[in-house]
Amino acid sequence: MRNTIKTRSGRVLELPTPEENEAINRGIAADPDTYEVPDEDFKKLKRMGARGRPRLETPKVLLSVRYDADIVETFKATGDGWQTRMNDALRDWLKDHLPA
């Protein structure tokens, strides 16, 4: 019977048998382009867990808000980045007005 594991998404993966694993490792060892990273160099590598953009000094706040449909459509019609432009418009308005 084959050794299998189930992923979080529910997929079932078949693991190689010990014989298949040895054959895979022999193939890796025979490949002239393979480079094995020494342990001391491996420890220096940065972990790739934090992917995406770097954290902002002042991160945005997730907020649920309702605007009139025509306002949202006007900003959306300007293309990608419309939410940033809407944020900038509010920031610009605050330069000359005090919120009530």
Query: Could you report the per-residue pLDDT of 7-26, keeping only the tens digit for each?
Result: 999 999 999 999 999 999 99
In a domain, 91, yes or no: yes
- Which range marks the domain in which residue 72 is found? 63-100
pTM value surpassing 0.95:
no
Q: Which residues contact 67 (CB under 8 A, 6 or more apart)?
A: none
In a domain, 78, yes or no: yes
In a domain, 46, yes or no: no
Q: Extract the tokens encoding 61.
A: 């706040």
How many structural domains does the chain have? Answer: 1
In a domain, 92, yes or no: yes
CB 2 within 8 A of CB 10: no
In a domain, 87, yes or no: yes
Nearest to 67 by CA among 86, 88, 95: 86
Q: What is the pLDDT of residue 17?
A: 92
SS3 51: coil
